[in-house]
A and B are shown apart, each in its own frame.
Chain A
Amino acid sequence: MSVLVDEDSRVIVQGITGGEGKFHTEQMMEYGTNVVAGAVPGKGGQEVAGVPVYDTVAEAAEAEDADTSVVFVPPAFAGDACFEALDAPLDLVVAITEGIPTQDMARVKRAEGETDTHLVGPNCPGLITPGEAKLGILPGNIFDAGRVGLVSRSGTLTYQVVDSLTQRGIGQSTAIGIGGDPIIGTSFIDALSLFEDDPETDAVVMCGEIGGEDEEQAAAFIDENMSTPVAGFIAGRTAPPGKRMGHAGAIVSGSGTGTAQSKIDALESAGVPVGDTPEEVVDNVEDLL
C-alpha cells in the first residue's frame, strides 16, 4: 500500500520529447513506472522510449487508459500544460517544472479546486513508492520499501533524509516532494491526511522550510487529526528576512512571518519532535517507531 502512486498507475509524460522529459521517462520506466504515453503538441505519431506520443493529453488518456501525468514542460507553457491535464481529466498531475509564473499557478490552482484531480508541485522532484513506481526526477536507488511516509518542500533535502533512513534500515511507504513554490497543488495538510489514512504508513517525516504558513497550519492539523506520529525538520533557521533563498517560496517576510522559529515552535507544541540536523530527524523517527 502507499499513497497516490503505485505499480498500477498509468502514466502520461507531458513534454516527453524534450531532453529532460525523455531522460526521466527512461529513468522512470527503468524503475518500474508504467509510462504508457507521451503528450506533446505537434509530435503526435512519434515514439519516445518505446511509448506512443499524442498531440493532446485527452487523446493520450483515452487511447492508453491513463490516470496520471507528469509535466516536464518549460515554464512559459507549463501552466497551460497543467490546465490541459486537469481537463483530460486525470486522477493525479505532477508538475516538475521550476519557474512557472506565480499568477499562472494561481489560476491553475483555482481550476484544480473544481476537479477531483490531485495536483502535486510545481517546482518539485515528484513522488515515489519505493519498489513500485516513481513519478519525476528522484534518484530511485536511495529509496527502500517500508513503512515511513515522507513529505517535503525540497528535493535534495529529501534525498539527504531518505539516504540516512535507508542506511539505518528504515524503508519508506511513499515520499512526496510538494515543491518550493509559493502556490502549490498539494499542501502539507493534504499529504499528511493521505498518510494518516494509509494503513501501511506507521510514521511520517515532514521537511518544511521558511516562508508562508503551511507548516504552522500542518502543525494544527497534526494536533487535531493525526494518530500517526510525525517527525519534523525545518530548513532556513539562518535565513535573513526579505531574501529569497533559492526557492521562490522560501522567504521570510519583512514583518517576520514565515520564520523557521515560528514553524519549529508550532510543530513542537503539536508534539512533533523537530531535529536540529538531518541525522537527528532519523533518530527521532527511530524513537517514534
Chain B
Amino acid sequence: MRLHEYQAKQVFSDAGIPTPASELAGTVDEAVDAAEEIGYPVAIKAQVHVGGRGKAGGIKLVDDAEEAEEAADDILGMDLKGYTVDRVLVEEAVDFENELYVGVTMDRGEGKPVAMVSTRGGVNIEEVAEEDPDAIAREHIDPAFGMHPYQARKAVYDAGVDREIARDVASVLTTLYQLWDDRDGADAEINPLMVTSDKDVIAADAVFNVDEDALFRQPELQEMEEEGEFAESELEQKADEYGFDYVRLSGNVGIIGNGAGLVMTTLDLVDYYGGEPANFLDVGGGAKADRIANALDMVFSDDNVDSVVFNIFGGITRGDEVAKGINQALEQFDEIPKPVVVRLAGTNATEGMEILNEDLVTVEQTLESAVQRAVDYAEEVEA
C-alpha cells in the first residue's frame, strides 16, 4: 500500500524529519488560498500514484496568485496516465544547493533491510543504481538488532556527503529507518533530500510504501489508506470491496483463476495464443460460491472485456462450489453479457461439471484449450 505524498510527508514530519510548508487542496480556490498563505514561489503537485508526475505536467512551479490559479485549474481534473487528479499539494518551493537521496527497503535476496544514501538525488535512483551502482552507499541492517548509530554514519560518509551536513543526514536516515521499522514499511524514500544554502536538509519528496500484510497492526496507516482511496479507479475500489487480488491490464480477455502462479500462467497463455489479457484476478484458496459470483461480476463490469476464461485447479478450492457460484452469477441474466469459458480440475471437479449449467458457459477440458477458446471468442466480438 502506497501513501500519497502529502500523507507520507505528514508521517515523516511527525517523526521529526524536516519537510517544506504545505497544504492539501481540492479546489482552485483552496489552492490559491494555500499558496497565498505559504508565500511564493510554491509548487503545485498532483496527488496521484503515478511515476514521472513532473514530466507529465502534474507538477508546476508558480510565482504569483494568477499563475497559481492557472496551474491549479490545469492540474485539478487532469488525467494522469488513467488517474483523474482531484487533490493537489501546494508546497513551499525550497531554494537548494544540492540534492541527496536517502532510502530504506528490504533486500529480499539477503533477507535483510538495507539503508541507502547517495549524493545523486533528484533523479531516478533506479537508473543511478543501474548505471553507477557505486554512487549509492548501502548498509545492510541485522533485523535482530536494528540499525546501529555507526551504520547511519558509515552510509553517509561512504556516500561522500559533505562533512558539514553529515550529522544531519545521518540523523534523517536514522529517523527514516526507525519509521520503516516501527510502521512496517516496505519502501521508505526521500528523493530529493534538499540541502539549502544555509546547510539545512529538507525532505522535498516523500515515499512510504507499507507492507499490506502488516496493515492489521498499523491502524493509523490503515485510516490513511481509506482516506487516500479518492485516487482509485472504480474497478480498483470494487476489487478492494470484494477482497480480490486484482490488476487491470489493457486487453480484452477477462481472466479468473485461483492461485497467483496459475493465474499469471493463464494470462501468459492468452498472450501466447494471440490474445490480450484484460486483468489478473485471483479468487484465492477455498473460494465459496458467493466469492466466485463476485469475481464474475467484477470482470463483467470492465467494459474492455469481450470474453472470460475461468480456470480453477482445486486444491482447497472445491469444483462444486465454483460451479454453484458460476450458475448463481449467470442465471440472473436474460442474456449472458460476455461469453464465459470454464475449465475445472482437481478437488471435486467431476461434481462441479455435473452441477455446471452448460447452457450458460462453454466447457473445456484443458487449460490450453480453454484459453484458446476464450481468445477466439474475444476475436469474434472485435471482428
A residues near B (Cβ < 8 Å) are 75-76, 98-107, 109-111, 125, 137-139, 142, 152-160, 163, 180, 182-183, 207, 209-210, 212-214, 217, 233, 235-240, 242-250, 253-255, 260, 276-279
Contacts and interface: CB of A to CB of B under 8 A. Distances in A.
B111 A109 contact: yes
Interface string B210-221: 011110110000
Nearest to A19: B286
Contact of B127 (A99, A106, A240, A255): A255
B272 interface: yes
Contacts of A154: 259-262, 264
Contact of A277 (B126, B249, B269, B345): B269
Given A139-B315, A213-B109, A238-B277, A110 B261 contact: no
Contact of A209 (B249, B260, B346): B260
Contact of B265 (A155, A157, A214, A249): A157
Given A156-B258, A156-B315, A240-B247, A246 B280 contact: yes
B144 interface: yes
Given A102-B211, A103-B214, A107-B143, A180 B260 contact: yes
B368 interface: yes
B121 interface: no
Contact of A183 (B111, B214, B264, B313): B111
Nearest to B277: A238
Most buried by A among B111, B144, B261: B261
Given A99-B213, A139-B347, A212 B108 contact: yes
10 contacts: A102-B184, A102-B213, A109-B111, A157-B265, A159-B346, A235-B265, A239-B267, A246-B260, A255-B129, A277-B269
A276 B368 CA distance: 11
Given A156-B259, A250-B264, A254-B51, A101 B316 contact: no
Nearest to A234: B268
B240 interface: no
Which 4 residue pairs across A and B have the least CB separation, nearest first?
A154-B261, A246-B260, A156-B259, A255-B126
A245 B280 contact: yes
Contact of B315 (A159, A207, A250): A159
Interface of B: 51, 106, 108-109, 111-113, 126-127, 129-130, 142-144, 181, 184, 186, 211-214, 216-217, 245, 247, 249, 257-265, 267-272, 277, 280, 282, 285, 313-316, 345-347, 366-368
B211 A101 contact: yes
A156 B217 contact: no
Nearest to A253: B126
Contact of B211 (A103, A236, A239): A103
A236 B282 CA distance: 14
A255 B51 CA distance: 12
B89 to A, nearest CB: 22
B213 A209 contact: no
Contacts of B261: 152-158, 180, 207, 209, 235, 246-247, 250
Contacts of A217: 109
A245 B346 contact: no
Nearest to B126: A255
B313 A212 contact: no
Nearest to B270: A238
Contacts of A183: 106, 108, 111
A157 B258 CA distance: 9
Contacts of B268: 235-238, 260
Contact of B144 (A76, A107, A244): A107
B187 to A, nearest CB: 10
B313 A277 contact: no
A277 B272 contact: yes
Given A138-B315, A249-B108, A255-B126, A103 B184 contact: yes
Contacts of B260: 154, 180, 209, 245-247, 250
A242 B81 CA distance: 14
A101 B184 CA distance: 8
A214 to B, nearest CB: 8
Contacts of B264: 154, 157, 209-210, 235-236, 238-239, 245-246, 250
Contacts of A236: 264, 267-268
A160 B260 CA distance: 13
Most buried by B among A102, A209, A236, A253: A102
Contacts of B212: 248
A213 B142 CA distance: 21
Contacts of A237: 268, 271
